[in-house]
Amino acid sequence: MPLQLCFSPHRQGHRAPAAALLIVDAAQLYIYVCVCMYIYIYIYICIYIYSILLQLCFSLHRQGLRAPAAALLIVDAAQPWRPHTHALFPRKARERAATLLRLGLLLSRQERFLGAEVSLADAWREYVIASAVSRREEDM
């Protein structure tokens, strides 16, 4: 019965005791912290694996050896959108990148950007498109 009061505090005119509400809040906070911690650990592991692959490719390159094509492809596929990684993105992401590129070029040709057309187009391509294009479908 006390647990039921926690989730419906105004049932039959009764209020849940403050201690019961604190327990529910503490449980929700604990779950939130655990989820955040698991996400953090997952991201940390992904970054760690990515850094190992990069170190391997760079060490092979310094020794004058070429990294295996598959390793270079994995490293390129893990990077954000760039013109050289365009082909590694899903079709919808590539279409979005092309549309954004056209939009940026049209924007850079406006009179207010006279003399800075190339700089604006470069910044648009390197920063705006790279942050607006994602491999995740829900972002599109």
Q: Report pLDDT digits (tens) over 88-130.
A: 899 999 999 999 999 999 998 888 888 888 888 889 998 999 8
pTM exceeds 0.75, yes or no = no
User: Per residue, what are the HEC states of the chain?
Assistant: CHHHHHHCCCHHHCCCCHHHHHHHHHHHHHHHHHHHHHHHHHHHHHHHHHHHHHHHHHHHHHCCCCCCHHHHHHHHHCCCCCHHHHHHCCHHHHHHHHHHHHHHHHHHCCHHHCCCHHHHHHHHHHHHHHHHCCCCHHHC
Task: For the chain, give the percent of residues with pLDDT over 90.
Answer: 13
